[in-house]
Amino acid sequence: MRARQRIASVVLLGVSLLLAACQIDDSGPVRSVWRPADAKYSRTDVVYVTDREPDAKAAGGYGWHWADAASCGTALALIPPAKIWGEDAWGYVDHTSPQPCAAKSGPLGGAIALIQAQAKARNCNSVFLFVHGFHTGFDGAVLRAAQLAHDAQTGCANATYSWSSEVELGRYATDIEHSQYSEPLLAEFLHELAESGLQVKILSHSMGSRMVLSTLSAMARGRDAVKPGFIDELVLTASDIGIEQNNDDFAHLLHDATPYVRRTTIYASGGDAVLAISRSAHGGVPRLGREPEADLRYRADDKTHIVDVIDASGPPADILDHSYFAMSYEAVADMSLALAGVPTAQRLTAIDGWKPTLTCADACGNDPRYQLAVGEGRHPRLISRILVHIVPLIPFVQ
């Protein structure tokens, strides 16, 4: 018994040291997945809504603590091009410009006005909204929103909702609490976006996907009517949501969100080591973002709400393959087309200069299983492939 306890302690220590040493999520260095000929930094203004406490010493001006109040404004993000050998550049928030959140139109009317002004200046009428996950600071949220908007060529207004995640690997439970505290403010933001007349496109990551769907579920049961179909595209990446066979949380949340969303795209990777750890932390309940084959049961095409499933297990990204959605050019290229409303079947062939972004796991017949098109020699990192097998064993070593 003591020998097995020592083995468990060694394994847990090794995993903890590895996690402490690597970039899991959006709080680490952010770069483009593309490299233009001039290798210049991109400059992107991002409208933000956050429930973090203002902190002049923190990157971007907002810290880790929950403020129980909204702050709004714009942030200028500078994102370097894809890294080549010998470079060590990363993105940074040049400055933030806080603005009042409230206006006559609502508690977040000031933020909505900033988004509308961005859209009008670019002669368009849509907004790309990024909602981050666990272990992400305010600056990480802004930078990732800017990088995705630039790399995926979203083309209109850009925004992020930054809830008060703490950038501490050991504070997972605390982040779950803070994400729940933040849902009423996110609900107000989505309400006002629905009323704005803007075309809304949302990309959420990890715990952020749980927040978005939980918020939409609550809105479906709310007293005030919300405009149906106001979300044109909802992209769920590496989602930390339970999909237990006989107690399926995601199935309920997806059902509740259906009236508000035209199309949902699920990206899942069997090599996601962070979600392997989350599964262990949730008593063995599988997570949506790590089960590409199991997720196929959610596919739908009823014209009012389409659900697509993409296997993102192929390309390499960060050391734990949890941030492939932004660090893999294969994923970014496909998400660009998904956010633009291009159907999955069309992404199997070249489009307007884009190479095919999807292939079929089997023959592309009547029931195709889509996966990211990955170049030869591109594989997930060895560490993530080892961890997804080791982590599930840890709770059983007593």
List pLDDT tens digits, range 180-225.
Answer: 999 999 999 999 999 999 999 999 999 999 999 999 999 998 878 8
Q: How confident is the model at residue 362 (pLDDT cuts 50, 70, 90)?
A: confident
CA distances from 258 to 21, 189, 215, 288, 325 (A): 40, 18, 13, 17, 23
CA 301 to chain centre: 23
pLDDT of residue 395: 47
Give mean pLDDT, residues 370-377. Answer: 86
pLDDT of residue 12: 43
Dihedral of the CA atoms 268, 271, 277, 280 (nearest 10)? 80
The ranges assigned to domains in the chain are 2-396
Strands (E), the chain: 42-54, 62-79, 92-99, 126-131, 157-162, 199-205, 231-237, 261-268, 300-301, 306-311, 358-360, 370-372
State the chain's maximal CA–CA distance in angstroms.
Answer: 68
More reliable by pLDDT, 174 or 251: 251
CA 365 to chain centre: 30
More reliable by pLDDT, 318 or 161: 161
- For 68: left if phi > 0, alpha if psi spans -120 to 50, otherwise beta; the answer is left
pLDDT of residue 315: 86
pLDDT of residue 387: 54
Q: Report whether pLDDT(105) > 70.
A: yes
Q: What is the three-class DSSP state of 68?
A: strand
More reliable by pLDDT, 270 or 319: 270
Q: Report whether pLDDT(68) > 90.
A: yes
Nearest CA to 59 out of 94, 29, 32 is that of 94
Fold of 2-396: Rossmann fold (3.40.50)
How far, in Å, CA of 38 to CA of 184, rounded?
Answer: 44
Question: For 303-336, how does the pLDDT look when each residue is reduced to its tens digit (9 = 90+)?
Answer: 789 999 999 998 888 878 899 999 999 999 999 9
DSSP state, residue 40: P
Enter the pTM of the model.
0.90
Asked if 261 and 226 count as a contact pair (C-beta separation under 8 A), the reply is no
How far, in Å, CA of 70 to CA of 66, rounded?
Answer: 10
How far, in Å, CA of 201 to CA of 148, rounded?
Answer: 12
pLDDT, averaged across the chain:
88
How far, in Å, CA of 330 to CA of 357, rounded?
Answer: 7
Using only the alpha carbons of the chain, give its radius of gyration. 20
pLDDT of residue 277: 86
Q: Report whether pLDDT(14) > 90.
A: no
Pairing of strands 92-99, 306-311: unpaired
pLDDT of residue 382: 56
